[in-house]
Structures are given as structure tokens and as C-alpha cells.
Structure 1
């Protein structure tokens, strides 16, 4: 029975990480064309690459457990799209982009921490992938401070 709990928690944690990583890439894609500063654009592109690479690692681990990938919630994605477009319509600036992405990082870190708490029996590898994703988000959040 414990193996089932470990496997269940592992798959669920990996699926949430997969959805979170995809959500981050989508959010970055949404603001890239509206970013004016080349250094900010490069920071976002680098972070997008980190998410994509980590996403491949998450997919490999999910395949090991025969788990399915997970798309972000359409409601969450739609709400993020609406917020991004509304704010950037009112004020299209790098500060607005940084603020939006920082908010997304905060929400992502909080959601991933909840998942770590909700799936305590997940494998060490899955927990490590989750912490790596949280670290990418935290680093981006810190790097964006100078643009706020």
C-alpha cells in the first residue's frame, strides 16, 4: 500500500510541476513582445529556456512512473491572460511586465510549496524537480526587482 501512496504522490507532484512549468512559459511568451529593454527580454528568454529544460526532466520522470503530462488549468491560464492584457493595455512598460511576472513567480512558488506539503510521500527525485522549479521562479523574481 505504501508503494501506491508513494507512486500516487510522485505522479501528482510531477504533474503539478509540469503544469506550473508550462504556465510559466506561457506567461513569458505573453509578455515577450511587449518587453522593451533588451536585458529584460534576454532574462525572460533565458528563464524560459530553464523552464523548458526542466520540463523535459519532469516529462522523463513522469514517463518513468507511466504518468500523463498535465496542462495548466484553462481557467488559470485565461485569468492570467486577461490580467496581463488588461494591465499592459493600461500601461505598457517594462515595470508592468516585471510586476506581472513577479506576481506569477509568487503564485507559482506558493502553489508548488502547497504541492510539496500535499504530496509528502513523493519520491526524492520528484521533490528535487519541484524545488528546482521553485528555485528558477525565485531567482527570476529576484532578478526582476531592478525593473519594478
Structure 2
């Protein structure tokens, strides 16, 4: 597998892992049904896309290298705890998710821009995730 494909698939795994972790940390704090539904939907996207990226890596004898490590998980956990301590409203959580989702879009797009020779399968998976993330941001904007 060309190195560029591996880099893109690794980045997809990282974004999906961080996204899942964020959703899992936020769900116990959410009491608004619409927001819970949104978070469950977003988590499902992360699970499915991350699984597909890992599967594509494994088919070529690779393993994800960029999945969320313990330090990043700890930083995410503390960030979520601090940000929801005073305000765990659906509006505030929507704002947090818009920011985090935007960061994922940026890292995926930068990776695609840096890897112009990657295969269509890896690029397509990343582009599809970006599109889904953009749709998610539009839905979350309605909850702000």
C-alpha cells in the first residue's frame, strides 16, 4: 500500500477515535433528546468509518498508528470535564461538538492536500467523512 494511503487511513482512524471518545464522554452529560440522538448518530458514523479505515489498512498488512493514545484521551477527558462543569446545556455541548468536528475536518483536509497521490479508495473514505462532518456541523448549528 502506498505510504500516502496509509497516512490518510491513519488520519481517518485518529479522527474517528477522538470523535468516538468525545461523544462517549459527553453522552452521560446530555439530557436533551435531540442532542442525544445527534451524538448517537455521530458516534455511529465514527464507528463505521473508523472500522472501514482499519479494515483497509489490515487488508494491506498495516495497523493504525494514529489512534487516540492515553495522553490525548486524558487531555480530552479533562477538557470535556472543565467545559461542562459550569454549563452542560445542549447549546454548549453543540458548540463544543462544532469546534471538535471542525478540527477533524481540518486535519483530514490537510492530510488530503498533503497526499495528492493517494488511492481513490482512501481519498473517497476521507472525503465522505468530511462531507458527513460538514452535515453534522450544519445540524449542530441549529442547536446553538
| TM-score, structure 2 as length reference | 0.92
Q: What is the aligned partner in structure 2 of residue 124 from structure 1?
A: 120
| CA distance in 2 between partners of 1:146 and 1:134 (Å) | 19
Is the deviation greater in 56-65 or in 124-133?
56-65
Is the deviation greater in 16-25 or in 67-76?
67-76
Q: Structure 1 residues 119 and 73, CA, compared in 2 at 3 Å: closer, same or farther?
A: farther
How many aligned residue pairs are there? 143
User: Is structure 2 residue 61 aligned with structure 1 residue 49?
Assistant: no
Q: What is the aligned partner in structure 2 of residue 107 from structure 1?
A: 103
Offset at residue 78 of structure 1 (A): 3.1
| TM-score, structure 1 as length reference | 0.89
Kindly provide the CA deviation profile for residues 124-143 of structure 1, in whole angstroms up to 9, marking residues without a partner as x.
10000111111221111111
1:142 to 128, 135, 138: 138
Note the aligned Cα RMSD (angstroms).
1.5
| Counterpart contact for 1:21–1:133, Cα < 8 Å | no
Offset at residue 50 of structure 1 (A): 1.6
| CA distance in 2 between partners of 1:117 and 1:81 (Å) | 30
Offset at residue 84 of structure 1 (A): 1.5
What are the ranges of 5 or more consecutive residues in structure 1 without an aligned counterpart? 1-5
Tell me the secondary structure at the aligned position of residue 48 of structure 2.
helix
| CA distance in 2 between partners of 1:121 and 1:77 (Å) | 32
Offset at residue 73 of structure 1 (A): 4.8
